[in-house]
Structure 1
Amino acid sequence: MASRSLEKGAAALRAIQSDPAIKSSLSAISLDVTSTDSITAAFAHVSTHHDRLDVLINNAAIHTNPRNRWPRNYLVLSLRIRSVPPSSLGSLVLAGDTTRFDSRVDALAYRMSKAALDMLVVQDHRKLGGKGDMNGEGGGKGERPIKVFAICPGLVVSELRGSTEEQRTCGGMAGDPEGSGRFIQMVMEGERDEDVGKFVHEGGNYPW
């Protein structure tokens, strides 16, 4: 698990580990996607402590003034991705649909960051899709193909919007993030492989 604040990441880790149903081995690292040094350090940490990286889920976003900041949000993707959770707020098609309730959500920096991730998914799928290793060289015996998805986890309870109950739950509209986690797990386990390279959500696909 990566977070800008290692203290907050460790707190989230303890909360997850307090569930007796969790059997997996978990750890927390610091990662600020607006800092090249932080990204480099995180990459070095993973390379040193783990044999390989099977899945990278990038759920980073910004919710502030985008000037001079949002392009750096994607340096983290030099790690190479197999799964990315963008948001329907990043869809250019849906942004122009005035019948949708979220078309009135400004969130300029957030929309920009997610729209840019959409393009990155399209390009990485074109470049990496079907390749046999994370360097794009492929062809090795026993290697698995790289699958790139854009995954919308839906509107869930989060402190990205703030720490009050109203902000965390988006006025009671936000769902339980556990459901989103289970959906992402389904994608990771191959249950949506027919939609590889697309912008998927639990009920189907979103337009770019």
Structure 2
Amino acid sequence: MNTNKIALVTGANKGIGNEIARQLGAAGFTVLIGSRDAERGAVAAKELVAEGLDAVALPLEVTSPESVAAAVSTVADAYGRLDVLVNNAAIIPAGDGPVSEVTGDVLRSAFETNVIGLVGVTQAFLPLLRRAEQARVVNLSTSLASFEQVGDPESRLSTVLTLGYNSSKAAVNMVTVMLANELRGTGILVNAADPGKCATDMGGWSTERTPAQGAAVAVGLATLGVDGPTGHVYAEEGRLPW
């Protein structure tokens, strides 16, 4: 019988999601590598197993209710509970841009994955999270969702004109706060993590900051103690302003 805590990381076959899974595995978790591409997920899990970690591939397309339901069934049958859910899967859709130019289809694409998919996955796994002793939910966010920082004309963030991504991640912050409020007193803590700009496919490769550095924020929130915070957004430097 598996006595490890069980953690699911969506979009974990590469980038920050993969590094979150690696660090949770190193902390003693059984990590489920959520990936919409089953083959890539299997390769990622095999690589972590080769490092001595307990990792299992889990096919999961967050925008497909059928895929999500199948994943829930798999986890329920294998483990009976879920201790940690890290909602990492997200996109910056092709064609994302400023308010004056972005199309409705681009906006719908961003929200379909980054918000609707995230909420659907969380709702589906919530019964298994409730079965855990002290479950944790971590949603990946960004400083680009901070009204205070993006609203500052002196900030570099004010020049990043990706409405679909920025606004969908702002919605993720609200989901985080509302779910935390809903689950107060249950032992389930819900927070969001800003990994910062890291060298990944999404973040670009022009920064020296590594995925390991970005993952540390989410891992810290996933392993909070019983008296940990809930309903906030954190970055490497601490709690983010709204």
Distance 1:7 1:160 in 2: 20
Assess if the C-alpha contact under 8 Å between 1:62 and 1:70 holds in 2. no
Alignment of 1:98-177 (within 5 A): 98-131=153-186, 145-160=187-202, 167=204, 169=205, 172-173=206-207, 175-177=209-211
Specify the code of the residue in structure 2 equivalent to 1:117.
V
Residue by residue, what CA displacement relative to the aligned partner does 1:95-119 show, whole Å, maximum 9, x if unpaired? 2122221221122222122111101
Alignment: residue pair count: 184
Assess if the C-alpha contact under 8 Å between 1:156 and 1:176 holds in 2. yes
Question: C-alpha displacement at 1:189, in angstroms?
Answer: 2.6
Distance 1:59 1:204 in 2: 19
Distance 1:160 1:147 in 2: 27
Q: Give the TM-score normalised by structure 1.
A: 0.78
Alignment of 1:14-29 (within 5 A): 14-19=46-51, 23-29=52-58
Residue by residue, what CA displacement relative to the aligned partner does 1:128-168 show, whole Å, maximum 9, x if unpaired? 0221xxxxxxxxxxxxx11111111111222236xxxxx4x
Specify the code of the residue in structure 2 equivalent to 1:147.
L
**Which structure is richer in relative contact order (CA contacts within 8 A, separation 6 or more)?**
2
Specify the code of the residue in structure 2 equivalent to 1:38.
S
Distance 1:60 1:106 in 2: 21
2:66 is equivalent to residue 37 of structure 1: yes
RMSD: 2.2
Question: C-alpha displacement at 1:194, in angstroms?
Answer: 4.7
Q: Give the TM-score normalised by structure 2.
A: 0.68
Residue by residue, what CA displacement relative to the aligned partner does 1:166-189 show, whole Å, maximum 9, x if unpaired? x4x1xx225211123333332233
Specify the code of the residue in structure 1 equivalent to 2:57.
A
Q: Which residue of 2 aligns with 1:88?
A: 143
SS at match of 1:82: strand
2:238 is equivalent to residue 196 of structure 1: no
Cα 1:207/1:17, change in 2 over 3 Å? same
Assess if the C-alpha contact under 8 Å between 1:34 and 1:69 holds in 2. no
Q: Which residue of 2 aligns with 1:75?
A: 120
Specify the code of the residue in structure 2 equivalent to 1:76.
V
Distance 1:109 1:179 in 2: 25
Question: C-alpha displacement at 1:44, in angstroms?
Answer: 1.4
Distance 1:55 1:14 in 2: 21
Specify the code of the residue in structure 1 equivalent to 2:41.
G
Q: Which runs of 5+ in 1 are unaligned?
A: 132-144, 162-166
Assess if the C-alpha contact under 8 Å between 2:58 and 2:71 holds in 1. yes
Question: C-alpha displacement at 1:190, in angstroms?
Answer: 2.2
Assess if the C-alpha contact under 8 Å between 1:36 and 1:75 holds in 2. yes
Distance 2:212 2:165 in 1: 22
The structure that is strand-richer by fraction is 2
Q: Which runs of 5+ in 2 are unaligned?
A: 1-32, 94-105, 127-135
SS at match of 2:62: coil
Specify the code of the residue in structure 2 equivalent to 1:151.
A
Specify the code of the residue in structure 2 equivalent to 1:99.
E
SS at match of 1:28: strand
Structure 1 stretches of 4+ with a deviation exceeding 4 A read 191-194
Specify the code of the residue in structure 2 equivalent to 1:190.
L
Specify the code of the residue in structure 2 equivalent to 1:62.
I
Assess if the C-alpha contact under 8 Å between 2:176 and 2:191 holds in 1. yes
